[in-house]
Amino acid sequence: MATLDKPSEYKVIGTSPLRHDGVDKVTGRAAYGADIRLPGMLYGAVLRSPHAHARIISMDTSEAEKLHGVHAVITAKDFPDLESRIVELGEGLVNRKYQSNNILARDKVLYFGHAVAAVAATSLHIAKEALDLIRVEYEALDPVMDVRKAMEAGSPILLDDLRTDEFGKKGETPTNIAGHYKDACGDIEKGFKEAKFIVEREFVTKMVHQGYIEPQNATAQYNPDGQVAIWCSTQGAFGVREQVAEILEIPISNIRVIPMEIGGGFGGKIGVYLEPLAALLSRKSGYRPVKLTMDRSEVLAATGPTSGSYIKVKMGADANGKITAAEALLIYEAGAYPGSPVGAGMGVIFAPYRIENGVIEGYDVVVNKPRTAAYRAPGGTNAAFAAETVMDELAEKLGMDPIEFRLLNGAQEGDRRVDGSAYKRIGYLETLEAAKESAHYKTPLSGPHTGRGVASGFWFNYGGKSSASVSVNKDGTVSLLEGSVDIGGTRTSLAMQLAETLGIPAEDVRPVVADTDSIGYTEGTYGSRTTFATGWAVYETARDLIEKLKERAAILWEVEKDKVTFESGVFSSGDKTLTFKELAEKLDETGGPVVASAAVQPKGYGPGFATHIVDVEVDPETGKVQILRYTAVQDVGKAIYPVYVESQIQGGVAQGIGWALNEEYLYDEQGRLLNTSLLDYRMPVALDLPMIDTILVEVANPGHPYGVRGVGEVPIVPPPAAIANAIYRAIGVRMTELPMSPARVVEALIHKP
Amino acid sequence: MPSKTHVTATINGEEVEFLCEPHQSLLEVLRETLGLMGAKEGCNNGNCGSCNVILEGRLVNSCLVLAVEIQGKSVTTIEGIATPEGLHPLQQKFIEHAALQCGYCTPGFIVAAKALLDQNPNPSEHEVREWLAGNLCRCTGYDRIVKAVLDAADS
Amino acid sequence: MQSFDYATPKSAEEVATLLAGKNGEAQILAGGTDLLVQLREGRRQAKLVIDIKNIPELTQVTFDPQNGLRIGAAASCFQICSDPNVRQHYPGLVDAVRLIGGVQIQNRASVGGNLCNASPAADSIPALIVHEAVCHITGSNETRTLPVEEFCMAPGKNAMRPGEFLTSIGVPVPQGNFGASYLRFIPRSEMDIAVVGAGASVVLNAEGKQFVSARIALGAVAPTPLLASDAGAFLAGKAVTRENVREAAHRAQAIAQPITDLRGTAEHRRHLCAVLVERAVGKAIERAGGQYAQ
């Protein structure tokens, strides 16, 4: 890891304390969702559709109900039959009827693995036996597996009530096109006329999964008074509470969600799958607690992977290398219900560049695949794969170095994206400069069939609502309650911001992730928001605490409060001083315990940019691509907890490499998912990857007290494009389809022009 | 339903007796019967390494061992890696190197790495990567895990 | 997982008796790395699981210079790879067995199981074929021996009759200037099933310039692993040249009947056949102390 040398004005921020939950996690003591065991607990299992597209003619659960040990069987009939209504749930807007039907199919199954019934029994073994006794009669329908076919007139329709949202207006005829969007600026025709070089290409990417190692799970305990407690693996406990409330039509005040440790999410654990089922099974089985866990095949077939896509990009540049026009069409798979991240893809596709004449069009299209969910910079990787490949080709035609070409056209403060939004202070050009000056880029690459590729990426990042509260302990430590689930070290990145503000060591903060009844509303750990927004809540909490402690010091010293000052952890008034710790010991004498809290909704989140460099070696006989060296340069704002910033980048890169080379959903002609195991859904293993070098560029975000930008998402955006560009340099073929699997590379070589 | 089988085994150095059905995996019995929750289920078919334990000195996936098979044998789980004196060097190095994010795969990696260092105290980076290829981590890109294992080997 | 009974017989005779008593509803358990997954997924059924790991003759690896190698059906990959005699005499087998799964799988999975599972993509089978290995099979009243290349009948189906089980695999001692290798292609670098596997063994003349004989075998390109007899026969008596090896590779490729499935496309598999056979034969030549004529 390299950072730009700069003396730090901070004592805690930018250091690397040991994470607070480290010992729990290396000893096997940390309690994840599946580790919950409650007295009298039952085990649930879910029956899933063997068809990709079928009407449910009838369902008979009577035999399953009779099986000894079975306590409850539920189908969609046990769910409220919800009217269509768009609600804000978790990350983004969803139609609650569709979400309910996704959790348990009502009239139709829309993808292989779609849940149709659930059972609770005294053991998992019995619950699974009971599934075999449920009779479901289906009328199989033709599956629609490709977005462009789904858009054709006469294609089988998935959702009878779906009408296209056409630039904000509803269409009138049944369709698979859920949405059609467009952004434009300048004069596109004029722009292409000014171009000396124009590159136009089509790209296809396949559905991929987040691949978190912990399968979804949920345990619910319903009480006869209508209160229900839910323990689960989620990125956001409050989001679970809202979704369960909407789907089961129960008040949010009746639901308490206790977020357990979470074994990875990457966007895939925002929406609920099992929680409403567990709650209902608990109620129906006489209020016994019920635990549901998915197995890996259920995770792959029936949670929320991210969209495959078809993208067309056309860009032009004049003789000097200035981009004169950029045009894109993005068609994204929504999966079974509307909601692909095509909008985000449209935002990402030309985001790093100054585009004076641009048109971006997008379609959200339903197909018979699982309803897509967020996946790290959702929609961004697909888009950047297309645009950054075209950028590379333009640079080649211009005879320019790909970094120089990007420097010439790179966006900076004041520039606007095609959708019109303007940038505040951003660090894109700084990432390009740092990449250009990196040891990696300056080291020549040699050897047969090797090549170096460069690509950039953008992500919006997000703010949202967060709360925090603290209490001061007698020994000078501080307990911190916060509502952000800790997926990758945020207990510590939050504790560090608290410690910095209070002038105490990070080790003196005890961070605890609280349940929905114990902390103020906090959005989920998504959108690269936790260190930013919950960090801000923590900062405000600390400031509130300092004011309250000044009052206590004033009492001790018998002075007016405004005569007490605070700096670097020391309260003083005249020649009297007390450290934070000394004052903490004296709280009982000044009125008892001190607590503070804050809730925020900051808007000043700053986007993240990254530029990646990769060296590959291609075996032209087998088509296999080996990653030789990788450097990721990223504007991280201020790196609060640098080792975990670096780890976020490395993890994003590794996922991007997997997406680039081998990961894809493979369906047969009937729409059945073929690769439902981690053997055949090929995520990178340790031997596939080199060390992943990072260069942290710190352009502080003016919209945060400590300059924080989100860091977690943008690192997955550039890798497929960077690797495609490297493959081109290695063997002279442009790869336009993901994954760039050995078979596709060989195929491309055979058809090399 | 088949009757339960009585099994006696040594787990983390202590003799343990339990009853299980023949179809139950060692992973299931460790977690559900013995309350040892450190071994995790990630795939339940030997592809992710999250459930790794050491059986008779050899690294195995506990999801691919029947609990009845451990009759008379010795098993070390993540709960048995630390000593009364403190963390095992691997555990310490995983924390110091930030070799985990979500932590779910971590017990499996530490058990696997221990099995490696027990038989090869000075592995190369390639040997570490090869050995750990049966363990999936989706958060870290493996970089820091490999460094932690190499550093633990040095110390 | 489905319910079953579990037995730990102490002798091969006991295994035969147990199998005979269950009328095809028993499954043999060695390492369990295939069986337990298949039972869990309902791809195999069992009323009784017979664990053969407590039977010494089924778990040992023995070698003598006359009769060669005998691999007990339940011997683990780790046990086989760490055997000094195997490492010295059976390089193709070592190549293959080391590729079966990660460390965790190596410590449990048996080559006997890999064989009985009869996957077209099983890594050990092409290697056993080029080493001229045979299967020793025991039934309730007779034992028989079958060349490995005749053991697999179809994906998941082997030549054993109900009541029979594999006791060991016999591999003769290589003669002369012998070299063997096994290579597979997988998209990742570990934890994958072969897209194509290729085994090769060669015996070279004293100067190392001519093939005395050769055997070539392929995996994952047909319903069963294949012995490419014609390709091997072609090399016998020929000079050790790249052209000859290429021709043999094309002859091997010609017998492949690959399909497109989740692990690879038919086109890619066919293409890889020639690439891998050429590489495998090249490696075998090198191990036999030969090199291509310039």
Domain that includes residue B141, residue range: 89-154
Cβ <8 Å between B2 and C101? no
The residue out of C171, C199, C233 marking a domain boundary is C171
For residues B75 and B93, membership in a common domain is answered with no
For residues C67 and C166, membership in a common domain is answered with yes
The residue out of B27, B61, B80 marking a domain boundary is B80
Q: Which residues of C touch B (CB under 8 A)?
A: 1-6, 29, 31-33, 36-37, 39-41, 49, 51, 53, 78, 101-105, 107-108, 189-191
To the question of pTM greater than 0.90 for the whole model, the response is yes
Q: Degrees (nearest 5) of the Cα angle A97, A98, A101? A: 90
Express as a percent the part of chain A with pLDDT over 70. Answer: 98
Cα(C38)–Cα(A136) distance, rounded to whole angstroms? 25
Q: Within a 10 A sphere around the Cβ of A562, how many other Cβ atoms?
A: 9
Q: Which residues of C touch A (CB under 8 A)?
A: 1, 3, 185, 187-193, 195, 261-265, 267-268, 271-272, 275
Cα(A433)–Cα(A520) distance, rounded to whole angstroms? 42
Phi first, then psi, for residue A314 (nearest 5°) are -135, 125
Cβ <8 Å between B130 and C1? no
Phi first, then psi, for residue A665 (nearest 5°) are -80, 130
pLDDT at A286 over 90: yes
Chains with 3 or more CB pairs under 8 A to chain B: A, C
- pLDDT in the model for residue C294: 77
- pLDDT in the model for residue A5: 47
Cα(C66)–Cα(C85) distance, rounded to whole angstroms? 13
Cβ <8 Å between A263 and B103? yes
The residue out of C146, C171, C196 marking a domain boundary is C171
Question: Of the candidates C193, C264, C275, which has its C-beta nearest A679's C-beta?
Answer: C193
CA-wise closest residue to C5 among B5, B63, B71? B5
Residues in chain A: 753
Q: Closest approach of chain C CAs to the CA of A363, in angstroms?
A: 29
Q: Which of residues 11 through 70 in chain B touch A, CB cutoff 8 A?
A: 21, 23, 31-32, 35-45, 47-48, 50
We report the CATH number of the domain holding residue B118 as 1.10.150.120
pLDDT at A275 over 70: yes
Residue whose entry in the numeric block shows the structure tokens 């950029």: A326
Q: How confident is the model at residue A7 (pLDDT cuts 50, 70, 90)?
A: low
The residue out of B80, B111, B126 marking a domain boundary is B80
CA-wise closest residue to A304 among A211, A428, A411, A229? A211
- Give A439-481 pLDDT, tens digit per residue: 999 999 999 999 999 999 999 999 999 999 999 999 999 999 9
CA-wise closest residue to C4 among C34, C20, C35, C17? C35
Cα(A340)–Cα(A3) distance, rounded to whole angstroms? 36
Q: Closest approach of chain C CAs to the CA of B85, in angstroms?
A: 29
Q: Closest approach of chain C CAs to the CA of A622, in angstroms?
A: 6
We report the CATH number of the domain holding residue C28 as 3.30.43
Amino acid (1-letter code) at residue A231: W
Which residues of chain C lie closer than 8 angstroms to A621, CB-CB? 275
Q: How confident is the model at residue A4 (pLDDT cuts 50, 70, 90)?
A: very low
Cβ <8 Å between A661 and C187? yes
Which residues of chain C lie closer than 8 angstroms to B114, CB-CB? none
Cβ <8 Å between C105 and B66? no
- Give B127-153 pLDDT, tens digit per residue: 999 999 999 999 999 999 999 999 999
- pLDDT in the model for residue A92: 67
Q: How confident is the model at residue C24 (pLDDT cuts 50, 70, 90)?
A: confident
- Number of domains chain C is built from: 3
Cβ <8 Å between C101 and B64? no
Cα(C270)–Cα(A308) distance, rounded to whole angstroms? 28
Tokens linked to A108: 């139709």
For residues C239 and C150, membership in a common domain is answered with no
- Give A711-729 pLDDT, tens digit per residue: 999 999 999 999 999 999 9
Residues in CB range of A483: below 8 A, 6 or more apart: A237, A238, A466, A467, A468, A513, A514, A516, A519, A520, A521, A522, A534
Amino acid (1-letter code) at residue A581: K
Cα(A557)–Cα(A537) distance, rounded to whole angstroms? 30
Which residues of chain C lie closer than 8 angstroms to A674, CB-CB? 261-262
For residues C266 and C214, membership in a common domain is answered with yes
H/E segment holding residue C87 = helix C84-89
Higher pLDDT residue, B18 or C294?
A: B18
H/E segment holding residue B23 = none
H/E segment holding residue A143 = none
- Number of domains chain B is built from: 2
For residues B69 and B99, membership in a common domain is answered with no
CA-wise closest residue to C194 among C227, C169, C168, C217? C217
DSSP A373: -
Per-residue exposure over C160-189, b if at least 16 CB sit within 10 Å of its own CB, e if not:
beebbbbbbbbbeebeebbbbbbbbbbbbb
Phi first, then psi, for residue A110 (nearest 5°) are -120, 0
Residue C292 lies in a domain: no
Q: Closest approach of chain A CAs to the CA of C195, in angstroms?
A: 10
Domains annotated on chain A, with CATH: 7-30+463-600 (3.30.365.10), 140-422 (3.30.365.10)
Cα(A383)–Cα(A313) distance, rounded to whole angstroms? 9
The residue out of C28, C51, C74 marking a domain boundary is C51
Is the Cβ–Cβ distance between A640 and A664 less than 8 Å? no
**Interface TM-score (ipTM) > 0.90:** yes
Residue C294 lies in a domain: no
Cβ <8 Å between B98 and A644? yes
Q: Which residues of A touch C (CB under 8 A)?
A: 125, 621-624, 661-662, 666, 674-675, 679-680, 682, 684-685, 687-688, 741-743, 746-747
Rg (CA), chain C: 19
Question: Of the candidates C188, C268, C271, which has its C-beta nearest A682's C-beta?
Answer: C188
Q: How confident is the model at residue A273 (pLDDT cuts 50, 70, 90)?
A: very high
Whole-number mean pLDDT of chain A? 96
Cα(A7)–Cα(A23) distance, rounded to whole angstroms? 31
Cα(A370)–Cα(A646) distance, rounded to whole angstroms? 32
Q: How confident is the model at residue A85 (pLDDT cuts 50, 70, 90)?
A: confident
Q: How confident is the model at residue A276 (pLDDT cuts 50, 70, 90)?
A: very high
For residues B30 and B52, membership in a common domain is answered with yes
pLDDT at A271 over 90: yes
The residue out of B80, B112, B143 marking a domain boundary is B80
CA-wise closest residue to A536 among A701, A715, A714, A713? A701
We report the CATH number of the domain holding residue C123 as 3.30.465.10
Cα(A452)–Cα(B13) distance, rounded to whole angstroms? 52
In sign, the C-alpha dihedral spanning A436, A437, A438, A440 is positive
Cβ <8 Å between B66 and C191? no
For residues B38 and B102, membership in a common domain is answered with no
Q: How confident is the model at residue C22 (pLDDT cuts 50, 70, 90)?
A: confident
We report the CATH number of the domain holding residue B67 as 3.10.20.30
- pLDDT in the model for residue A60: 98
For residues B95 and B149, membership in a common domain is answered with yes
For residues C167 and C182, membership in a common domain is answered with no
Bridge partners, B66 (sequence order): B25
- Interface residue of B37, B41, B83, B104 to substitute, partner A, most A CBs within 10 Å: B104
Which SS3 state, helix, strand or coil, does residue C32 take? coil
Residue C160 lies in a domain: yes
Cβ <8 Å between C104 and B1? no
Q: Closest approach of chain A CAs to the CA of C271, in angstroms?
A: 8
pLDDT at A3 over 80: no
For residues B58 and B101, membership in a common domain is answered with no
Which SS3 state, helix, strand or coil, does residue C9 take? coil
Nearest CA in chain B to A43: B32
Domain that includes residue C275, residue range: 178-287
pLDDT at B2 over 70: no
Tokens linked to A632: 């990721």
Which residues of chain C lie closer than 8 angstroms to B135, CB-CB? 102
Q: Closest approach of chain A CAs to the CA of C167, in angstroms?
A: 29
Cα(A170)–Cα(A163) distance, rounded to whole angstroms? 6
Task: Report in angstroms the alpha-carbon separations of A16 from A489, A507, A704, A744, B98.
Answer: 11, 11, 21, 43, 9
For residues B73 and B104, membership in a common domain is answered with no
Which SS3 state, helix, strand or coil, does residue A188 take? helix
For residues C156 and C193, membership in a common domain is answered with no
Q: How confident is the model at residue A683 (pLDDT cuts 50, 70, 90)?
A: very high
| Mean pLDDT, residues C55-79 taken together | 97
